[in-house]
Amino acid sequence: MNLPTIDRYCDGKPNAVGFTLYSPAGDTLRIWYSYQTPVGFALNGKRTVRENEWGPTTGKHLNTIDGGGSDAKAARVGLVQFERALAEALAQFNGAKPDPLTELGRECARELGERGQSTAGFGEHVPGKGRDGMARDGFKALGKYAREKGLV
């Protein structure tokens, strides 16, 4: 098994650090930080990078991570989507199995989104509500609702 590595990824600058972890199952997880904030990650080569919400220095870090082209910048994601994707990547890296109600809720949310309908009211009283109006556990609440109503 490979040991974790730490490196400076942007011209050796001390405020741009990357960590690479290796699982016994053969997965590779790389997390890039700008200062002390995770701004990008790649699980088995599939990269996710945050939008630049800071300034030019972090912008340089982001450009180093994804190349900085117009396609790369268009593929960057906001905070809420980044946090969800990183949590899912960490769970996968650690061998966690997805919760079936959460997965059902995600599928329902995708379908509602395709129809132009909102998911903002689901899971509103669930602890950990995210900034996008969907509770962090809202996908699970949405999946439970769909199952109880016989929608699936």
Number of C-beta neighbours around residue 35 at 10 A = 13
User: For the residues 64-92, what does the mean pLDDT come to?
Assistant: 93
Provide the edge-to-edge strand list for the sheet that holds 46-49. 5-8, 16-22, 28-34, 37-43, 46-49
Among 68, 93, 118, the domain-final residue is: 93
Instruction: Please say if the pLDDT value at position 36 is more than 50.
Output: yes
Return the structure tokens found at 114. 């395709």
Q: Say yes or no: 44 and 69 in one domain.
A: yes
pLDDT at 131 over 50: no
Q: Are residues 43 and 106 in the same domain?
A: no
My answer on whether 33 and 77 are in the same domain is yes
DSSP letter (8 states) at residue 89: H
Band (130; pLDDT cuts 50, 70, 90): very low
| 100 has pLDDT over 60 | yes
Do 16 and 78 belong to one domain? yes
pTM of the model: 0.64
Domain stops at, among 75, 93, 111 = 93
- Which neighbouring-strand residues pair with 25? none
> Which structural domain, as residue segments, surrounds residue 104?
100-148
pLDDT greater than 80 at residue 103: no
35 and 82 inside one domain? yes
Same domain, residue pair 15 and 81: yes
Q: Please, where are the H alpha helices in 39-137?
A: 56-66, 70-75, 79-93, 100-114
Q: Are residues 23 and 55 in the same domain?
A: yes
State yes or no: pLDDT of 129 exceeds 60: no
Say whether pLDDT at 55 is over 80.
yes
Residue 89 shares a structural domain with residue 106: no
Locate tokens 């990824």: which residue?
9
Kindly state the average pLDDT of the residues 24-49: 92
Cα-to-chain-centroid distance, residue 139: 15
Judgement on whether residues 17 and 86 belong to the same structural domain of the protein: yes
Which residues make beta-bridge pairs with 38? 33
Quote the number of domains for the chain: 2
Which tokens in the block code for residue 2? 């490979």
